[in-house]
Amino acid sequence: MAPCVTEEFLKLYVAYKAETNFVDLIPQAKRLILSLNIAFHELHDPRGLAKDVTNLGRWGIGDAEVRFSKSEELPYVMGLVRQAFEKQMGNDEADA
């Protein structure tokens, strides 16, 4: 984790933030839901795991949501998280 990133445990989710939240983890019984603070159209997601949740009521912030339950998906999902982090840090050129 980058030195500028903090972790905040809230009642319903865990927030990871630099300047503000870039990803929120919402644990569920059989999977994790990640709410990415990046515009859905800016997310490079060739596998199509992310869902556009713009203007939908939900826990967490962000316009892109990723649900995953298989550990082999973790490296790919972390690439999506990195995109949200890099966007927040002002590095729009990042390829995850």
Under the banding of pLDDT at 50, 70 and 90, the label for residue 7 is very high
With CA atoms as reference, report the closest residue to 66 among 33, 29, 27, 39: 33
Reply yes or no on whether the pLDDT at 88 is more than 80: yes
What is the band of 95 on the pLDDT scale with cuts at 50, 70, 90? very low
DSSP letter string, 18-81 = SSSEEEEEEE-SS-EEEEE-S-GGG---TT--EEE-TT---SS--SEEEEE--GGGHHHHHHHH
Percent of the chain whose predicted confidence (pLDDT) is above 70: 88
How far apart, in whole angstroms, are the C-alpha atoms of residue 6 and residue 15? 8
pLDDT in tens, 46-84: 999 999 988 776 655 778 999 988 999 999 999 999 999
CA distances from 84 to 11, 27, 30, 95 (A): 23, 19, 24, 11
